[in-house]
Amino acid sequence: MIRSATVHDIPEIRTMIRELAAYERAVEQARATEEQLREALFGAHPAAFALIAEDDGTGQAVGYALWFPRFSTWTGTRGMHLEDLYVRPAARGGGHGRALLASLAALCRRHGYDRFEWWVLDWNEPAIGFYKSLGAEFLDEWKVCRLSGGPLEELAAQAPAGDA
């Protein structure tokens, strides 16, 4: 079963975020607190949204998808960025990942989103194979860019005075 996350899911979502980070070999980078997640998902101005995959027999959360809207200047329309897709190892192969992605695709259609995009680590062959089986297009010509920490602070210090 796939359902929208509720505020009561925050502890389980945080646990699964840390499980995903451990799988991606970056657990030390998963620093989001329950309070931050509560504000991001259920605050006055949500920054993101989440779906929960539950085991049909036990009702236990076995996975989640966390997403937020994007905007394309080329198409003039919104799209969806999938930040996290995670299914616990014991539940993999049970169709939960496909059900989460199908639910997200249905949300895209319902909201009129033209694009549904996400990133995958280049070494994550099981995920890459799964995404290929769905017909996902891989945009190899694009590189992800990130500024954080010191470089972000240094660039911000160069901003001209104004309203921005």
Catalytic residues: 131
The count of C-alpha atoms lying within 13 angstroms of the C-alpha of 71, restricted to the half-sphere facing its C-beta, is: 2
Phi, psi (deg, nearest 5) at residue 20: -60, -45
Burial class (CB in 10 A: 0-12, 13-18, 19+), 125: exposed
Q: How far apart are CA 30 and CA 84, in angstroms?
A: 12
